[in-house]
Amino acid sequence: MFLKDYIKVYPKVISLENASVLIRLSSKMFFKKAGISEKNIINEKIRNVNSYQLDPLDKSLSITHWARFLNFKIKNLMNNYLVDTKSMSFYNQINTVDQIEMLKYEKTFHYNFHVDDGPHFKRTLSCILFLNNDYDGGQLTFKDLKEEEEFTIENIPGSAIVWPSNFLYPHTVKPVEKGVRYSIVAWGH
């Protein structure tokens, strides 16, 4: 399948110890309901998840450290993706990683099918870094519109997935049935 060729999973992007530290650090974060569109509209029927922006200029030195660490890791990962998919001539390179966020999906939380790029967002590549898998449900699932089929990405803590942000890659996070799902999301251009 053509689309699957451009959805890449990278194992061991961060250590399990680092993933655990990030989850522990989340207890000190003030999560907010994540919205949709450039207006950040809260609509829990479409997207029900809590989010915390990891800002490299945060007052907390711990948050600053992790934001910079993740920015470095994700930007390198996205540029490796361009080499791996032979897309370097089309995209050049990723110079900026935007909106690094920690997402916290609790029981019943989900995000319906959507794409990450649009008229108000300049996004070339999307990345999700999995932090844990001690929950039920919450699967990251893509839909191949041409083949009219869905496929799910295995969640392995410390691994990341990178794919083009465009309209060809609608994806969803299925409702969490038990436990809490933690992940890091970011977009590059």
pLDDT of residue 90: 67
Q: Please, is 89 exposed, middle or buried when counting C-beta atoms within 10 Å of its C-beta (0-12, 13-18, 19+)? A: exposed
pLDDT level of residue 148 (50, 70, 90 thresholds):
confident
Domain architecture of the chain: domains with CATH: 3-35+45-188 (2.60.120.620)
pLDDT at res. 69: 98
Q: Which residue from 102, 108, 99 is spatially nearest to 47, judged by alpha carbons?
A: 108
* Helix count and strand count (H, E) for the chain: 3, 14
Please report the pLDDT score of residue 173 as a whole number: 98
pLDDT, tens only, 31-80: 999 999 888 999 999 999 999 999 999 999 999 999 999 999 999 999 99
Higher pLDDT, 90 or 34: 34
> Could you tell me where the DSSP H helices lie in the chain?
16-25, 61-84, 88-91
Q: pLDDT at position 178, please?
A: 98
Task: Report the pLDDT value the prediction gives residue 23, as an integer from 0 to 100.
Answer: 98
Q: What's the whole-number mean pLDDT along residues 77-100?
A: 88
pLDDT at 1: 53
Range name among 8-12, 54-58, 88-92, 141-145 with the lowest pLDDT average: 88-92
Mean pLDDT on 174-181 = 98
What residue has token string 């540029």?
79
- When pLDDT is cut at 50, 70 and 90, the band that residue 4 belongs to is confident
User: What single-letter amino acid sits at 37?
Assistant: S
To the nearest whole percent, how much of the chain has pLDDT over 70? 98
Q: What pTM value is reported for the model?
A: 0.95
Give 114-132 pLDDT, tens digit per residue. Answer: 999 988 888 999 999 999 9
For the chain, what is the mean pLDDT?
Answer: 94
Residue 167: pLDDT over 90: yes
Q: What are phi and psi of 58, to 5 degrees?
A: -60, 155
What is the predicted pLDDT for the residue at 57?
Answer: 92
